[in-house]
Amino acid sequence: MERTVRRENLLKRLEGLTEFEKAVLLATFEIPRGKVSTYKRIAERVGRPKAYRAVGNALHKNPIPPTIPCHRVVRSDGGFGGEKKSAEARMRLLMEEGVKIVKGRVKLTDDILF
């Protein structure tokens, strides 16, 4: 029940964004601590499987990080997109959550992917 209330509050904070951007941000909100997803998996989850680049653009517009944990979305190879400073910050957040990073990439395994 609490999750539903939070979701409704999130929708209010996402006013002004497109329906696609809202869908991406809400799907990202569902990723639990210590798990990750990929831009492609989020695109598939919102019903636009080829729109993984647009997912990245939508995440860039995230008005309420870390409430919507966009740091938990990585490239399909486990790498971090975006600017170096921003990528390093996201990597640190994931390491704090217990996500295994090997040579600058998330070690993508079935137990960590959401």
β-pairing verdict for 101-102 and 105-106: antiparallel
Of the residues 43, 70, 73, 106, which is catalytic? 70
Whether 41 sits among the annotated catalytic residues: the reply is: no
Alpha-carbon span 89 to 44, nearest angstrom: 26
Q: What is the phi/psi pair of residue 77, to 5°? A: -95, 5
Q: Which residues are catalytic?
A: 70
